[in-house]
Structure 1
Amino acid sequence: MMQKPSSLSARYRLVLTIGLFMLLPIMSEAQCAMCRAVLESEGNTSVAEGINNGIVYLMAIPYILIGALFFFIYRKLKS
Structure 2
Amino acid sequence: MKAKLFWIFVLLLVFPFTVDAQCAMCRAVVESEADGSTAEGINNGIVYLMAIPYVLVAGLFYFIYRRMRG
TM-score bracket, normalised by the shorter chain, equals 0.5 to 0.7
Report the TM-score, using the length of structure 2 for normalisation.
Answer: 0.56
CA distance in 2, matches of 1:49, 1:73: 36
The structure with the greater share of residues assigned to helix is 1
In the alignment, structure 1 residue 48 sits paired with structure 2 residue 1: no
Aligned partners of 1:74, 1:60: CA distance in 2, in Å? 21
The one-letter code of the counterpart of 1:63 is Y
Unaligned regions of 5+ residues in structure 1, if any? 1-22
Gaps of 5+ in 2: 1-12
Cα deviation 1:31-64 (Å, max 9, x = unaligned) = 37xxx9761x322411111110000000000000
Seq. identity, %: 50
Residue type matched to 1:60 in 2? A
| Backbone CA RMSD of aligned residues | 3.2
Q: Distance in 1 between matches of 2:35 and 2:50?
A: 24
Q: How far apart, CA to CA, are the structure 2 residues paired with 1:63 and 1:50?
A: 21
Q: Hey, which bits of structure 1, 4+ residues long, moved more than 4 A?
A: none
